[in-house]
Chains A and B, each alone.
Chain A
Amino acid sequence: MYDVIVVGGGHAGCEASNISAKLGMKTLLLTMNKKNIADMPCNPSIGGVAKGIIVREIDALGGLMGVVADKSHFQIKMLNNSKGPAVRSLRCQADKRVYPKVMLEYLESNPNLEIKEALVEDLIIENNTVKGVILSDNTKIYSKTVILTTGTYLKASILVGSTKKDEGPHGEGRSNTLSDKLKEYGLEIIRLKTGTPPRIAKDSIDFSKLKEELGDDTYYTFSHDIKPVYDINKQQKCYLLYTNALTHQIIRDNLTKSAMYGGYVTGTGPRYCPSIEDKIVRFSDKERHQLFLEPESIYYDEWYLQGFSTSMPVDVQEKLVHSLEGLEHAKITKYAYAIEYDAINPLQMHPSLENKIIHNLFTAGQINCTSGYEEAAGQGLIAGINAVQKILDTEPLILKRDEAYIGVLIDDLVTKGIKDPYRMLTSRAEFRLILRHDNADLRLRDIAYKYHTINDEQYERLQQKKKDIANLIKEIKNTKLELNEEIKKDFINNNFSVPLRNLSYEELLRRPEITFNFLNNYHHFNYNKDVLEQVEILIKYEGYINKALKESAKLKKIEEKEIPENIDYTKIKNLASEARQKLSEIRPRTIAQASRISGVNPSDITILSLYLKKEYNND
């Protein structure tokens, strides 16, 4: 008898099983193939805009993705550096061979975690509560909770042109009956589609025709706890290339041969990740589309052609790749494919990621209609933490929209429903100025400590950082830069306007052009880089940060007003019928969540509030 069984060893499953075991639970991770633990079947990178902030949050909350990425990448970049602190985000090129290896080492070092190869085809359900899993050989394994992180393996089909194979990525098997069983138990199944581009042999690429993309020359880590372990001078290059008129012509000529346009695909694909044929059809006036070539690993010679995902048959793929400048003689080592798979309707989940219909069953990752390693890992972590809370009968961890991107992600999933696979974007977060890369620990580590997912040392480090920030703010408010002729000259030489009187360092920092870097010439600020960065952001953008805080404070009050789980919406008079139907389906947890459902108007919210007051004496 286990406490927690995790089904699937992808990014969600790794985080879920690790955290549950870390919290002392007897945990079993079931995977079809141990070699594919933490596999990266698509792009060879971790992080990216918004996603990089999710990785920081995972790290702040005691998860593994950040530190594993730090130990396995060969290039790292801070994206959007010039666009402001709210949208900065890290991305690394993670080595597809190293990342899974490092992850597996972490998992295997955890004494409470057992990893086993098996295929799950059914669940043991009693009284609407999951009691364990049933394997393909009919073995039953019992547990208190189950977390499904099945990725694309539920009834997976791989499509290349008109050929369709019922298998998962890498020619692996698939789970044939689990999604049918889930449907039997009352879950709504959604068919989704995604795709991946071809891989190219390194020695067949003419790099001289391509534009280089380099890593940053500053050291960064995702993790809040480790020092960089890479050498900035030994980072690998990526390359930039473009499609051309010939590529587009080949696509147009062969459009009906594509699985997508030939009508072979039934699942819904992601909008933000269109196949190359989609791009040509939908943006027919564009003369070229940008592509990237990225190494998958430094241990083998396969390159990933980002931006070129397609479901064309292999002969057309050959022509297409050869039409690209630099790839005229390219050898395709793996053809692009589209993959269809089953997922469940995320509206059937609680914000804790527990299923509403089957108790003690949690889900995370692509099965919840998301896409992306980081989105999956973030959910896996939360599902793991909350499976444990369920066993302990304590409050689940539900992150709010102004606390974390992970909070935005889960709230969107359980409130708005899904039209296509969900990818995180900064524009989904209304409080992105609060949800920054630089303050993930300040936002989340107190919460993590409360849930015992970080240790005392990590907690102490946070408290020290908070103290340093407070002290530094005091220091810059209370000290002035005493101007003299020399300093004035420095200002002039830097093209800064010279202050008319002696200003405090705080006043100086408010000026857009002035940084601690410059001020350090006149006053030694004895604090580490993170603290200086934090204070600089807080001072410089104070006005806008306050605007955002004011907006988020508005939410707080209604966020605290809970809606009883057993509420009967048919009994509330005067609700508009659309609102009644949506509320009944989604069953929001709080008034705030209810107000985010499209079709629920402010007047419906007022009526609902009044009803709660009357029926439940809910203040």
Chain B
Amino acid sequence: MEDTICAISTAKGVGAISIIRISGKDAFKIINKIYKGKDLNKVESNTINYGYIYDKDELIDEVLVSILKSPKTYTMEDIVEINSHGGINTTNRILELVLENGARLAEPGEFTKRAFLNGRIDLTKAEAVNDLINAKSDLARKVALNNIKGNLYNKIKSLRNSIGELMANIEVNIDYPEYEDIEVITNEILKPKLNKIKEEIKIILNNTKNAKLINNGINVALIGRPNTGKSSILNKFLDEEKAIVTNIPGTTRDIVEGSITLDGFEINFIDTAGIRETSDVVEKIGVEKSKQATKDADIVIVVLNNNEKLTKEDEELINLVPENKRIIFVNKNDLENKLELKDEYVLGNTIDYSGIDNLKNAIKDKLNLDNIMVSDMTYMSNIREIDLLKKALNNIQSAITNLNSMPIDMLEIDISNAWNNLGEIIGEVYQDELLDILFSNFCVGK
């Protein structure tokens, strides 16, 4: 009944390809749920298979999947390695999919631990990884401490305390059933409390979206017909801000064209067909590519030409992007105005920098960045934490769903699982803690 674990096993943020590794008895079952291509149950061991990762009907990425069958693998279990080309967002998305389909996020060093537990690693290797794991977990400890500072820590802690007090009350009802002065936790009392906890977890998860912007940067895509000036806009941005990363031509899989910082936020310009097209290559707008970019991006800048009338293709592009992500930039205001537009837009050109400044402000407004800076920063910053918080939410939801059909001892299992999930986030899993709460809150005993 050993569970199946997964993790991104390439270093975060470095390299064009990321590998998501899955190990355990359900590895093949899980990959088959999200992969389109050959039936991976039927392929030979040690093969690399070309195909696509889908979230239901939505294409997530084009991938290569390595199938490694037990026992001749690193962990001696079935292993799947997904080679994703999609950069950190897509990689995270795939990881989330794998988690949703039954895997659990691996602890730091857990693949190696399994390799060791299953007898795979020999003596010399064990010696070597010993140091590695130690270093890693120390780092992990520091990282955890840095991530979980101030607000978030307190928020999770107080949320967990309220669950703990609820549990202590339930436990005292169970362990001291004949104390009539102690409030009995009935469904009527439990329901609003659980709903409140659920709502609070949801708020933190929502804030997580903003956190992603802070930690992973803001992905901006430029789309538009050829010759509207996308590439000039990009170059202006990158030139002015002394781009921290620029594309090395030839690595066509690179998703990020270049990054700049804007008021402390990292802005990543992501690849869409035609950004770097040269004038002598006439290309279609590539609606498919633009669609993909629209999904990956936090902001999509639709570039239109001030000097031309609105075309059907322009309209198609505008409609492609949901309003909350969309900035329409009308370029070439140095030329004669022929464009008529009912939507809101930003005007500018790429001769002077005014167009760029306007765009920057538009991005900030669109994402409400100024507010993010000052508002309550309770958010989860890493996938492990988000995963745990989602689990906590599911456990609370399960308790709410079963409220009227299950006795309290069953519901308490869900509630205490949620309590443990939150405890793992803030590193508190002291087992006797509940008894401490119980005996300090209730007066019981002979």
Hey, which bits of chain A sit against chain B, CB under 8 A?
A: 42-43, 49-50, 79-80, 82-87, 197, 213, 240, 270-274, 279, 282-283, 286, 288-290, 292, 306-307, 309, 416, 425-428, 430, 432-433, 511-512, 541, 544, 547-550, 553-554, 556-557, 561, 573-574, 596, 598, 601-603, 606-607, 609-611, 613-614, 619
| Contact assessment for B133 and A603 in the assembled complex, using a CB-CB cutoff below 8 Å | yes
Nearest-neighbor residue (CB-CB) of A79 within chain B: B177
| Contact assessment for A290 and B446 in the assembled complex, using a CB-CB cutoff below 8 Å | no
In the complex, how many angstroms separate the beta carbon of A219 from the nearest chain B beta carbon? Answer: 20
Which B residues between 106 and 120 are near A, CB-CB below 8 angstroms?
107-109, 112-113, 116-117, 119
| Contact assessment for B409 and A271 in the assembled complex, using a CB-CB cutoff below 8 Å | no
- The answer to whether B3 has its CB under 8 Å from any CB of chain A is yes
**Additional 11 contacts, C-beta under 8 A, given A83-B177, A610-B129, A610-B133:** A272-B444, A290-B179, A290-B181, A425-B435, A426-B174, A426-B175, A547-B417, A596-B431, A613-B119, A614-B126, A619-B117
- The answer to whether B131 has its CB under 8 Å from any CB of chain A is yes
- The answer to whether B407 has its CB under 8 Å from any CB of chain A is yes
With A290-B179, A606-B113 already in contact, the answer to whether A427 and B443 are too (CB < 8 A) is no
Chain A residues closer than 8 Å to B141, beta-carbon distance: 603
- The answer to whether B353 has its CB under 8 Å from any CB of chain A is no
Across the interface, B116 reaches (CB within 8 A) one of A80, A427, A544, A610, namely A610
Chain A residues closer than 8 Å to B108, beta-carbon distance: 603
Chain A residues closer than 8 Å to B407, beta-carbon distance: 82-85
| Contact assessment for A274 and B177 in the assembled complex, using a CB-CB cutoff below 8 Å | no
| Contact assessment for A289 and B443 in the assembled complex, using a CB-CB cutoff below 8 Å | yes
Across the interface, A427 reaches (CB within 8 A) one of B2, B174, B178, B417, namely B174
Chain A residues closer than 8 Å to B2, beta-carbon distance: 553-554, 557
| Contact assessment for B1 and A512 in the assembled complex, using a CB-CB cutoff below 8 Å | no
Which B residues between 129 and 153 are near A, CB-CB below 8 angstroms?
129-131, 133-134, 137-138, 141
| Contact assessment for B177 and A609 in the assembled complex, using a CB-CB cutoff below 8 Å | no
- The answer to whether B197 has its CB under 8 Å from any CB of chain A is no
Chain B residues closer than 8 Å to A289, beta-carbon distance: 181, 443
Chain B residues closer than 8 Å to A270, beta-carbon distance: 445
| Contact assessment for B130 and A607 in the assembled complex, using a CB-CB cutoff below 8 Å | yes
Nearest-neighbor residue (CB-CB) of B168 within chain A: A427
Chain A residues closer than 8 Å to B138, beta-carbon distance: 603
> Chain B 87-120, CB within 8 Å of chain A: the 1/0 string?
0000000000000000000011100110011010
| Contact assessment for B175 and A271 in the assembled complex, using a CB-CB cutoff below 8 Å | no
| Contact assessment for B175 and A50 in the assembled complex, using a CB-CB cutoff below 8 Å | yes
Residue with the highest number of chain A CB atoms closer than 10 Å, among B117, B413, B430, B431: B413
| Contact assessment for B446 and A309 in the assembled complex, using a CB-CB cutoff below 8 Å | yes
User: CA separation between A87 and B3, bound complex, in Å?
Assistant: 28
- The answer to whether B434 has its CB under 8 Å from any CB of chain A is yes
With A288-B181, A614-B126 already in contact, the answer to whether A86 and B409 are too (CB < 8 A) is yes
| Contact assessment for A598 and B430 in the assembled complex, using a CB-CB cutoff below 8 Å | yes
Interface size on B, residues (CB 8 A): 53
18 contacts between A and B (CB under 8 A): A80-B409, A83-B177, A83-B409, A85-B407, A86-B410, A271-B445, A272-B439, A279-B445, A290-B180, A292-B178, A433-B410, A541-B410, A603-B109, A603-B138, A606-B109, A613-B119, A613-B126, A619-B117
| Contact assessment for B176 and A49 in the assembled complex, using a CB-CB cutoff below 8 Å | yes
User: CA separation between A547 and B398, bound complex, in Å?
Assistant: 12
Chain B residues closer than 8 Å to A432, beta-carbon distance: 409
| Contact assessment for B177 and A84 in the assembled complex, using a CB-CB cutoff below 8 Å | no
| Contact assessment for B439 and A271 in the assembled complex, using a CB-CB cutoff below 8 Å | yes
In the complex, how many angstroms separate the beta carbon of B427 from the nearest chain A beta carbon? Answer: 9
Chain A residues closer than 8 Å to B297, beta-carbon distance: none
| Contact assessment for A427 and B171 in the assembled complex, using a CB-CB cutoff below 8 Å | yes
- The answer to whether B335 has its CB under 8 Å from any CB of chain A is no
In the complex, how many angstroms separate the beta carbon of B172 from the nearest chain A beta carbon? Answer: 9
| Contact assessment for A283 and B443 in the assembled complex, using a CB-CB cutoff below 8 Å | yes
With A49-B176, A286-B181, A557-B2 already in contact, the answer to whether A426 and B443 are too (CB < 8 A) is no
- The answer to whether B127 has its CB under 8 Å from any CB of chain A is yes
| Contact assessment for A512 and B405 in the assembled complex, using a CB-CB cutoff below 8 Å | yes
With A427-B435, A613-B116 already in contact, the answer to whether A84 and B443 are too (CB < 8 A) is no
In the complex, how many angstroms separate the beta carbon of A277 from the nearest chain B beta carbon? Answer: 12
| Contact assessment for A80 and B131 in the assembled complex, using a CB-CB cutoff below 8 Å | no
With A274-B445, A544-B413 already in contact, the answer to whether A607 and B134 are too (CB < 8 A) is yes
Chain A residues closer than 8 Å to B445, beta-carbon distance: 270-274, 279, 307
Chain B residues closer than 8 Å to A556, beta-carbon distance: 1
- The answer to whether B188 has its CB under 8 Å from any CB of chain A is no
Nearest-neighbor residue (CB-CB) of A612 within chain B: B116
- The answer to whether B121 has its CB under 8 Å from any CB of chain A is yes
User: CA separation between A550 and B298, bound complex, in Å?
Assistant: 39
Across the interface, B107 reaches (CB within 8 A) one of A50, A197, A292, A602, namely A602
User: CA separation between A432 and B121, bound complex, in Å?
Assistant: 37
- The answer to whether B374 has its CB under 8 Å from any CB of chain A is no
Across the interface, A87 reaches (CB within 8 A) one of B113, B179, B409, namely B409
- The answer to whether B432 has its CB under 8 Å from any CB of chain A is yes
In the complex, how many angstroms separate the beta carbon of B300 from the nearest chain A beta carbon? Answer: 43
With A240-B180, A609-B116, A619-B119 already in contact, the answer to whether A427 and B409 are too (CB < 8 A) is no
Closest 8 CB pairs of A and B: A84-B407, A84-B409, A553-B1, A603-B137, A86-B409, A512-B405, A283-B443, A273-B445
User: CA separation between A607 and B137, bound complex, in Å?
Assistant: 11
| Contact assessment for B409 and A603 in the assembled complex, using a CB-CB cutoff below 8 Å | no
- The answer to whether B438 has its CB under 8 Å from any CB of chain A is yes
Nearest-neighbor residue (CB-CB) of A242 within chain B: B181
Nearest-neighbor residue (CB-CB) of B430 within chain A: A598
In the complex, how many angstroms separate the beta carbon of B150 from the nearest chain A beta carbon? Answer: 23
Chain A residues closer than 8 Å to B179, beta-carbon distance: 290
Chain B residues closer than 8 Å to A548, beta-carbon distance: 413
Chain A residues closer than 8 Å to B129, beta-carbon distance: 610
| Contact assessment for B446 and A197 in the assembled complex, using a CB-CB cutoff below 8 Å | yes
User: CA separation between A601 and B109, bound complex, in Å?
Assistant: 13
User: CA separation between A274 and B109, bound complex, in Å?
Assistant: 46
Chain B residues closer than 8 Å to A512, beta-carbon distance: 404-406
| Contact assessment for B410 and A544 in the assembled complex, using a CB-CB cutoff below 8 Å | yes
In the complex, how many angstroms separate the beta carbon of B57 from the nearest chain A beta carbon? Answer: 30
Chain A residues closer than 8 Å to B180, beta-carbon distance: 240, 290
Nearest-neighbor residue (CB-CB) of A280 within chain B: B443
| Contact assessment for B116 and A306 in the assembled complex, using a CB-CB cutoff below 8 Å | no
| Contact assessment for A286 and B177 in the assembled complex, using a CB-CB cutoff below 8 Å | no
User: CA separation between A613 and B125, bound complex, in Å?
Assistant: 11
- The answer to whether B282 has its CB under 8 Å from any CB of chain A is no
| Contact assessment for A83 and B408 in the assembled complex, using a CB-CB cutoff below 8 Å | yes
| Contact assessment for B3 and A554 in the assembled complex, using a CB-CB cutoff below 8 Å | yes
In the complex, how many angstroms separate the beta carbon of A242 from the nearest chain B beta carbon? Answer: 8
Chain B residues closer than 8 Å to A292, beta-carbon distance: 178
- The answer to whether B123 has its CB under 8 Å from any CB of chain A is yes
With A49-B176, A87-B409, A553-B1 already in contact, the answer to whether A609 and B181 are too (CB < 8 A) is no
Chain A residues closer than 8 Å to B181, beta-carbon distance: 286, 288-290
In the complex, how many angstroms separate the beta carbon of A476 from the nearest chain B beta carbon? Answer: 19
- The answer to whether B235 has its CB under 8 Å from any CB of chain A is no
- The answer to whether B231 has its CB under 8 Å from any CB of chain A is no
Nearest-neighbor residue (CB-CB) of A275 within chain B: B445
Across the interface, A574 reaches (CB within 8 A) one of B131, B171, B406, namely B131
Which B residues between 397 and 420 are near A, CB-CB below 8 angstroms?
404-410, 413, 417
- The answer to whether B173 has its CB under 8 Å from any CB of chain A is yes
Residue with the highest number of chain B CB atoms closer than 10 Å, among A272, A286, A554, A607: A272
User: CA separation between A555 and B404, bound complex, in Å?
Assistant: 31
> Chain B 166-195, CB within 8 Å of chain A: the 1/0 string?
000001011111111100000000000000
Residue with the highest number of chain A CB atoms closer than 10 Å, among B107, B129, B175: B175
User: CA separation between A333 and B116, bound complex, in Å?
Assistant: 66
User: CA separation between A554 and B5, bound complex, in Å?
Assistant: 13
Across the interface, B435 reaches (CB within 8 A) one of A87, A428, A511, namely A428
Nearest-neighbor residue (CB-CB) of B441 within chain A: A283
User: CA separation between A603 and B130, bound complex, in Å?
Assistant: 10
User: CA separation between A511 and B405, bound complex, in Å?
Assistant: 8
| Contact assessment for B439 and A433 in the assembled complex, using a CB-CB cutoff below 8 Å | no
| Contact assessment for A84 and B410 in the assembled complex, using a CB-CB cutoff below 8 Å | yes
| Contact assessment for B409 and A433 in the assembled complex, using a CB-CB cutoff below 8 Å | yes
User: CA separation between A365 and B139, bound complex, in Å?
Assistant: 45
